[in-house]
Amino acid sequence: DTEVTQTPKHLVMGMTNKKSLKCEQHMGHRAMYWYKQKAKKPPELMFVYSYEKLSINESVPSRFSPECPNSSLLNLHLHALQPEDSALYLCASSQVDLGLAGINEQFFGPGTRLTVL
Amino acid sequence: AQSVTQLGSHVSVSEGALVLLRCNYSSSVPPYLFWYVQYPNQGLQLLLKYTTGATLVKGINGFEAEFKKSETSFHLTKPSAHMSDAAEYFCAVSPRPGGGNKLTFGTGTQLKVEL
């Protein structure tokens, strides 16, 4: 199974709502990522989890709160978002970089299209 | 620090014509190199990758890319374009093992295929 799944596919929320995005993989990967992608732009890294611990936070506003409850799941909790946060949110997973030879390619999910009204 | 430059944000070709998408990287050590494709409203799909060994890499859907260290390039080609190739293409680099998992993307090239 080389698939990363994301739910929901689409999400519309108001600026006062609280919602969550979910990501799941069963490839045994211990690194998981959240990216934000605006239209016609490359993905921008938001967070990286390694062995279920947050290892990179790219100075993301606190209205985005990631969570990695186990090695297969990654959540992104959303609260008090702004219209400019509307984007495609992509999840990815890979092997952890252990400094060994071999590729640590990232596998991407289909994304959640988020619209903030 | 690593960076990726994709020349041409939009490329238009006729169906059956050669596809050439350009990618140049900047890195103190040759990185790992990737090409991803993104169809509208979808995630990124890996087309091909270069790590070590043979510099001509073959990927899915008839695409290939050649790593040229002297030119710091990793251009993507396909001999004959198909309408289904119309998509956004991203070149990306990551450090070699021990350098972390962080991918650095180019700005992307939108490929249009015309009849």
Q: What are phi and psi of B84, to 5 degrees?
A: -70, -10
Contact flag A99-B97 (C-beta cutoff 8 Å): yes
**pLDDT attached to residue A100:** 65
B83 lies within 8 A of chain A by CB: no
Taking 80 as the threshold, does the pLDDT of residue B21 lie above it?
yes
**pLDDT attached to residue B114:** 96
Which of B103, B104, B107 to mutate against chain A (most A CBs within 10 Å)?
A: B103
Read off the pLDDT of each residue in B85-97 and give the average, rounded to a whole number: 90
Structure tokens belonging to residue A62: 């606190």
CA distance A77 to A63: 8
CA distance B82 to B85: 5
**pLDDT attached to residue A98:** 66
Read off the pLDDT of each residue in B75-86 and give the average, rounded to a whole number: 97
Q: Name the least confident of A94-98, B84-88, B104-108.
A: A94-98
**pLDDT attached to residue A101:** 60
**pLDDT attached to residue A1:** 61
Contact flag A42-B110 (C-beta cutoff 8 Å): no
**pLDDT attached to residue B92:** 94
Higher local confidence (pLDDT), A56 or B98: A56
pLDDT digits (tens, 9 = 90+) for B24-74: 999 877 788 999 999 988 899 999 999 888 889 999 999 999 999 999 999
With a cut of 70, list the residues of chain A below it in pLDDT: 1-2, 98-103
Q: In the predicted model, what is the mean pLDDT of chain B?
A: 92
Q: How many CB atoms lie within 10 A of CB B12?
A: 13
Contact flag B101-A97 (C-beta cutoff 8 Å): yes
Report the gap between the CA of A34 and the closest CA in chain B (Å). Answer: 12
Report the gap between the CA of A43 and the closest CA in chain B (Å). Answer: 7
**pLDDT attached to residue B77:** 98
Query: A41 to chain B: which residues are within 8 Å by CB?
Result: 107-108
Query: A109 to chain B: which residues are within 8 Å by CB?
Result: 43
**pLDDT attached to residue A99:** 66
As a dihedral over the C-alpha atoms of residue B18, residue B44, residue A95, residue B22, rounded to 10 degrees, the angle is: 30
Contact flag A99-B32 (C-beta cutoff 8 Å): no
**pLDDT attached to residue B17:** 97
Give the pLDDT band (50/70/90) at residue B1: confident
Burial letters for B35-54: b for 16+ Cβ neighbours within 10 Å, e otherwise? bbbbeeebbbbbbbbbbeee
B42 lies within 8 A of chain A by CB: yes
**pLDDT attached to residue A97:** 74
B40 lies within 8 A of chain A by CB: no
